[in-house]
Amino acid sequence: MTTTQHRGRLMVGSVLAVLVLTGCTDQGGPQTVPTSSQAPLHEVPCEATGTAARPPTIQATASGPYAVETVVDGDTIRIICNGTSTRVRLVGINAPESVKDDAPVECGGPEASTYLHSLLDGQQVFLSADPGQGVRDRYDRLLAYVWTADGTLANRAILEHGHAEATGYGKPFAYSEDFSAAADQAQKNKAGRWSC
């Protein structure tokens, strides 16, 4: 291959990369990010353990229901997954620490935990995985959006009340714009952790 051919291939590759990154397609326009009602989510790999009826307002791909075994802190719960007690980390949020080993309790941490307890203790939930986040994190926790039996998206509710920040830890997630807007509003209102 000549130097000119090599440069030509690099140029074509660069143009294609820009088109992909900016969302341009051969259909003539940018691809839109799915709204929360259209998000391409997936079921989590656990057999249902609950009996609650699926609310019509939640993702059709949400699996469950699952009985909440316990709330661990402001962004983690436990359910029974295929016969084993399994931690579930709520996708798209990060609550202040309240129970992490070798870490101080952070301002707003106990309140975040208390809020999640009030929302999920004794409840049955439905879960969806986000393909941008993967099914499990490096701590082997399931990563999921968590809906209550009345259709409340717990991940978003925590943000609305100011008990967490919105984050995908550098990875894309389906509700990023919605979650960021909810967190920004809570911060403006100095709700929850934002009053620290």
Residues acting as catalytic residues: 89, 97, 141
Considering only the C-alpha atoms of the chain, give the largest distance between any 2 of them, rounded to a whole number of Å. 69
CA dihedral sign of residues 93, 100, 135, 124 = negative
Question: Phi, psi (5° rounding) for residue 107?
Answer: -55, 125
Residue of 23, 123, 27, 11 whose CA lies nearest to 71 = 123
Question: Phi, psi (5° rounding) for residue 100?
Answer: -70, 130
Q: Is the CB of residue 34 less than 8 Å from the CB of residue 120?
A: no
